[in-house]
Amino acid sequence: MAKPTLEIRRGLIKARIWRHRSKTGTRYSLSVVRLYRNGDQWKESARLGRDDIPLVRLVLDEAYGWMLTNGGDSE
């Protein structure tokens, strides 16, 4: 399984940046998840609550800055 180029985590929110190479160059994509515990296991969900929004904004800002700094084409 491919690994993300970068993971940014703030609290229970995690963003992953993925690198994609194509004939026209490199581009990046992003996924955001919220971590939660189910018994003894940590799981991930794409569903976010109201109180998650400030941390989502923070990881998105950091991810955007990293993508700008590290180049690549936009999608």
Q: Residue 22: is its pLDDT beyond 90?
A: no
In a domain, 27, yes or no: yes
In a domain, 74, yes or no: no
Number of domains in the chain: 1
In a domain, 48, yes or no: yes
Please compute the mean of the pLDDT values over residues 21-30 and round it to a whole number: 89
Range with the poorest average pLDDT among 26-30, 31-35, 43-47, 48-52: 26-30
Full domain range(s) for residue 59: 6-69
Tens-digit pLDDT profile for residues 42-60: 999 999 999 999 999 999 9
Burial code of 14-34, b = ≥16 C-beta within 10 A, e = fewer?
Answer: bbbbeeeeeeeeebbebebbb
pTM for the model? 0.84
